[in-house]
Amino acid sequence: MSYAVTRFVSLQKKLLGAVTIGLLIVLLCALAGLATAWISVSGKVPQEVAQASAAEAVSRDFRMQVQEWKNVLIRGRDPAQLEKHLDAFRLQGKKVQSGTEKLAQAMPDARARALAQDLPSRI
């Protein structure tokens, strides 16, 4: 090989190495940015999401309470079944009550808080 060809190959390798190192630096910075964003997003749950989750839990408990009331009406002729389903109905009622109280305390909007506090008295 001649000196010019060797010099060209050497320059080509140097340029390729520099571009590769530059791309690796850009890739590492992008991954670091994604990791930082992932940590900040996964660490905090927005208040609205937490309230929606709590409201869904109250709704689920209320549906269970309605189901227990249906069981009282359907199976209430047998005293043992009546007592069993009445106890379950009362337990679900306590869950709904405590869930709505917790939900009401967490609400920043006064009107929404008043509605949530008033809900157990309407049930």
Q: What is the pLDDT of residue 8?
A: 66
pLDDT digits over 75-93, tens only?
989 999 999 999 999 999 9
Q: Are residues 39 and 62 in the same domain?
A: no
Q: Are residues 34 and 60 in the same domain?
A: no
Q: What is the pLDDT of residue 90?
A: 95
pLDDT digits over 12-49, tens only?
888 899 999 999 999 999 999 999 888 887 777 677 88
Q: Are residues 77 and 38 in the same domain?
A: no
Q: Are residues 105 and 61 in the same domain?
A: yes
Q: Is the pLDDT of residue 1 over 60?
A: no
What is the signed CA dihedral for 17, 19, 25, 30, rounded to 10 degrees? Answer: -140
Q: Are residues 28 and 56 in the same domain?
A: no
Q: Are residues 103 and 57 in the same domain?
A: yes
Q: Are residues 24 and 74 in the same domain?
A: no
Domain range enclosing 37: 1-44
How many domains does one find in the chain?
A: 2
